[in-house]
Chain A
Amino acid sequence: MLKLENITLNLPEKDNLLRDVSLSINPGKLTVITGPNGGGKTSLAKIIAGLYVPTSGRIILDDEDITQMSITDRAQKGIAYAFQQPVSFKGINVRTLMGIAAGGEMSEMRMCRILEKVGLCARDYMDREMDSHLSGGEMKRIEIATVLARGAKYIVFDEPEAGIDLWSFTSLIQAFESLKDYEEVALLIISHQERILNIADEIVVIRDGNITQNGTREEVFPTLMKNNSDNYCPKGKEMF
């Protein structure tokens, strides 16, 4: 289990990105974090992956305190993180990046199976560089594929839907659903997408750095739909 205990995050450019957030991510479950933009969702993902160190609070991974642990050590302990904005590399091709993700050289057959899940043909892409010659959507799909290649126990996807076309999105949903079948894998997806919310086991709503709702899909999803139809500020500010 991955537990966040009373996490607070202040950064030099902004205070209270997260305020006393506590949350448990359980293997065998798909947890979706949703909420208004700027509410703290990505900060939470970065706290888990180790890109941010919390100002206070603890992160417990399978009974071990990993609060001060480096990004590398967390990755080696089974945490995987798919960036919202994919990173480009001059001179590093898809094959190499997938190999790094998998911890060694990857067979073309395996690469084919993983890239297929994000709607890409391995033969067309494995020798292409991860640079500006790829479109934003292609980069995003490869970013997701690198995380799928890791075989990690705790997987965090930050807005995987961005840049993914409708057809590829269907196979991505199927990939998430098949990951749900592994009892030892915990999936955490940050998303606004109704189709992703629809396959969630748990839904957590973060607004203004606070968890405002946390429950099963059956409990939380109907209230989201209701709130959505009310007058609602996308920045989470109070309405007049």
Chain B
Amino acid sequence: MDKITEEILHEITDWDGVFSGAYSLRENGECISFQNSDHIRIVKKDDKPGIDIYISGKAQNETVYIPACVTKSDVHDLVYNDFHVQSGANVTIVAGCGVHTDAEEGSNHNGIHRFFLESGSHVVYKEKHIGIGEGGGKRVIDPVTYAEIGDGALLEMETLQLGGVDETTRDTSAILKNNAGLIIHESIMTDNEETAVTKFSVDMEGEDSNVDLISRSVAKGNSYQEYSSAINGKCRCKGHSECDAILVGNGRVNASPALNASSTDANLIHEAAIGKIAGEQIIKLMTLGLSEEEAEERIIAGFLGA
């Protein structure tokens, strides 16, 4: 395994030399190793790059890892991963991607992930993105996520990008059936000239479905972030979205949250706040003995859940 791959794996997962249980490891556009478990089966797609991950209802508190690593310049990786989660399964999926460039040519990874959650299943999806390397080539990660969440199923998504990715466009959409739940916690930090665009679209089609979408972003340097979300309540349902952003230096954020209710029983709420770090927060931490810089770091780390 490439040294850079090891470094990326360490950053984006809790990898310590070995994955226990099911995993599929992708390096520079190829699946370099994978392993099934008793209840999780990974099958390579025939018609396009990617895998199907079949998770049995017997999988309880299992974790499956599907990290993708790009370790050099001029790699353009596109992968289709489909998760088929049977009724009653309870699993954690650790995805994540790291892109390393060491020359002037850029590299990119586009992961197209689709989730099909059968009734009563529960998935925690963790995804961390990083960009590293000294090369001037752009590090680009453009994930697309689509989820169909069946009756009473719950998908919890935790996505984290803490810098080094020059450009990202994240596109997430979901359809929720009766009593289905979707919880998304997205944290993004950009710096220098980086850009990040995130789009969410959630259709609540089933009675008593609910979504909680929390996005926190920090834009530093000359970076730019664009956020848009559409929560579509088509029945008796609950939707809550919250997008907060902290600006540092010349960072810019454009947030366009939308709530679309087409039922009188749709209960949709949005909260948003964009601004610099509150001076009183820095002062409070300074009175506890931190320097101004340390206070700022702690506030941002806490805000992003990093």
Residues of A within 8 A of B (CB): 49, 51, 70-72, 75-76, 80-81, 83, 87, 89-93, 96-97, 100-101, 103, 146, 150
Contact = CB atoms under 8 A, between A and B. Distances in A.
A91 B303 CA distance: 4
Given A87-B281, A89-B281, A81 B290 contact: no
B48 to A, nearest CB: 39
Contacts of B281: 87, 89
A89 B283 contact: no
Given A87-B278, A91-B216, A81 B287 contact: yes
Interface stretch (B52-60, B76-84, B291-299): B291-299
Contact of A75 (B244, B278, B289, B305): B289
Interface string B243-282: 0100000000000000000000000000000000010110
B162 interface: no
Contact of B284 (A87, A91, A93): A87
Interface in B89-139: none
B247 to A, nearest CB: 15
Contacts of A101: 288-289
Contact of B288 (A70, A93, A146): A146
A80 B304 contact: no
B302 interface: yes
**Most chain A beta carbons < 10 A, residue from B283, B284, B302:** B284
Contacts of A76: 289
B280 A72 contact: no
A81 B280 CA distance: 13
22 contacts: A71-B283, A72-B286, A72-B290, A75-B287, A75-B289, A76-B289, A87-B278, A87-B280, A87-B283, A87-B284, A89-B281, A89-B303, A91-B216, A91-B301, A91-B303, A92-B298, A96-B298, A96-B302, A97-B288, A100-B289, A101-B288, A150-B288
A80 B216 contact: no
A91 B246 CA distance: 13
Given A90-B303, A91-B216, A91-B302, A100 B290 contact: yes
Nearest to A146: B288
Contacts of A87: 278, 280-281, 283-284
Interface of B: 216, 244, 278, 280-281, 283-292, 298-299, 301-305
A72 B291 CA distance: 6
B288 A75 contact: yes
Given A51-B283, A71-B287, A75-B288, A100 B244 contact: no
Contacts of B216: 90-91
Nearest to B284: A87
B286 A100 contact: no
A91 B280 CA distance: 16
A78 B231 CA distance: 50
A149 to B, nearest CB: 9
Contacts of B302: 89-93, 96
**Most chain B beta carbons < 10 A, residue from A87, A90, A101:** A90
Contacts of A70: 286
B92 to A, nearest CB: 20
B302 to A, nearest CB: 4
B289 A103 contact: yes
B148 to A, nearest CB: 31
Nearest to A102: B288
Nearest to B300: A91
A101 B289 CA distance: 7
Given A83-B284, A87-B280, A92 B289 contact: no
A100 B281 CA distance: 13
A239 B64 CA distance: 76
A83 B281 CA distance: 11
**Most chain A beta carbons < 10 A, residue from B281, B289, B292, B298:** B289
B286 A75 contact: yes
Contacts of B280: 83, 87
A51 B280 CA distance: 10
Contacts of A100: 285, 288-290, 298
